[in-house]
Structure 1
Amino acid sequence: MQLESYISDLLYRYECVTVPELGAFLTQRVSATIHESTNAFYPPKKMLSFNEQIQKNDGILTHYIADVEKIPFEEASKKIEKRVKSLKSYLTEGETISFENIGDLSLNNVGKIIFEPSYHLNYLTDAFGLSQFVSPSVNREVYKETVQKIEKVIPIAITPERRKSRSYFKYAAVAVIALTLGGFVASNYYVNNINTQNQLAQEEANQQLESKIQEATFVIENPLPAVTLNVKKQTGNYHIIAGAFRIEENSDKKLEELKTLGYDARKIGVNKYGLHEVVYASYEDRLDALSALRDIKRNHNPAAWLLVKELD
């Protein structure tokens, strides 16, 4: 039994996934960060950790396995117990247990489990489609040095003596202010006059249009027969996400690609990050959605995930 795949599915939705008699995988939301030396921007994510003290069965993992594999709860519990015994034997022999997209488990010198998380997958669904990027630093000192070099070659200075000797600066300033105020007043008058003329023209056009509509009579001598179209509308709150795209054209290309492969794909709108979301299909029943998700992750897209959302 691939226990890590079930744990990975649940980490998207829960902050604690307990493996009975082994420990609990915990998630903690971490805000977006900036690395000061590399200028790298990292999106928000869920930080993974492991607590060996939490071993009581809360039923989440067992219920999930029972639903996906369509087996009784007791049988799913026995399969987990058998798998945990096998994992503990490997750890006792000094081996490292690697859970794909989750992390590595090993024992230290005193027999305690050490967990090294994996950073290949972001379990925060709100950050889906966001990736890290590096922004070049802005060095303003370059421009400062350039200005200083220019000032050394062409000094710019107006001393009190030069101000007195050039009294015409004062009159030039007064003239500039007067011209500016005059231009502002004239501009406002011109704009207001144009707006008034446009409003009058619009009202006259609306009156003519209303009179034409009242006088018009439409007669259809040979009406076309009514056509009934049966359109299948997708419903359901369980959506298998294929991708989220900043540019809508890319989402349209992804949609056509999935339809060509035979999926009932569609777009479900824009999320709060401005990304256009494309789904393989939407389902009414949660178990049907989980079964389809496992098939898609195994045969087409390992990064696909399930979104539970009620659409308008």
Structure 2
Amino acid sequence: MTTATREEPAEGGTEAQVQHPTAPERAAKGRAARATAPRASQSALDLPDRDPVALLEEQAATRVPELVPIRYGRMLVSPFTFYRGAAKIMAHDLAATPTSGLQAQLCGDAHLSNFGGFASAERSLVFDLNDFDESLPGRFEWDVKRLATSFEICARDRDFDDAVRRSAVATVVRAYREAMRGFAAMGDLAVWYSRIDVEAILEQLRRDNDKKQAKNVERAEAKARTKDSLKAFSRLTHEVDGELRIRSDPPLLVPIDELVDDSRAAEMKEELASMFRKYRSSLQYDRRKLLEGYRLVDVARKVVGVGS
């Protein structure tokens, strides 16, 4: 059986062929990848000679200098918070590890705290990755290893015993494997629209009569539903001379007018307004119409997370 292809516009307006391997061809590629990187080889970690602090300092050179101590302070809270902020160190360590050659669009920072519940476009509560500022094409093993390791480190931080930690990590990687196997048997549209709906999780827990976990999910769901953009809006803004402005809470939240002089602030606001208009014009019609109901009013620098 031959591999199907279709013509698709490529960058610059030229036509490029997109490969569409059949299910047996995809399976054969996966089996062949095991010869390149046997599954047993994934347990090996031959750490390269490196200085973790030097790697962080190298990264700090690209950050806002006055915010670097805040980042380091957050990382120093616990081994897990250090791990959260040390994606560069882990990427450096994993770069030399065996790889199957199978590429994916990675999260790039797939630790457990970057998963959570949030409202979908249809306003239903879903559970998924919620941080993509380090997303990039790369080796799928990196995301899996970073996620599994995050469970081990977090469990150690919480003083869980060896058996609990091992069970947690094994459950995570097994769930990944089973999900990938399921996706492989699905059509593209089904995979595209696949999601973990919180209500579906609750229904399954109730069917399994797992009252304790169902109660935990219900509490988390109730808490998530109290968080919305209006609550953040009221917390982060205030009225100045009849106009809404972003509050000042340095160094974590600083309006642009306090960071640069008036002339530069005006220039930056116009640059951002232009970017906003260009982004809006790139959207499909229904989303563009929605966004046209909003305008840029104020700009600020906000510090979030541990690794940012």
- Using the size of structure 2 for normalisation, the TM-score is 0.21
Higher strand residue share: 1
The structure showing larger relative contact order (alpha-carbon pairs under 8 Å, at least 6 residues apart) is 2
TM score, norm. by length of structure 1? 0.21
In terms of fraction of residues, the more helix-rich structure is 2
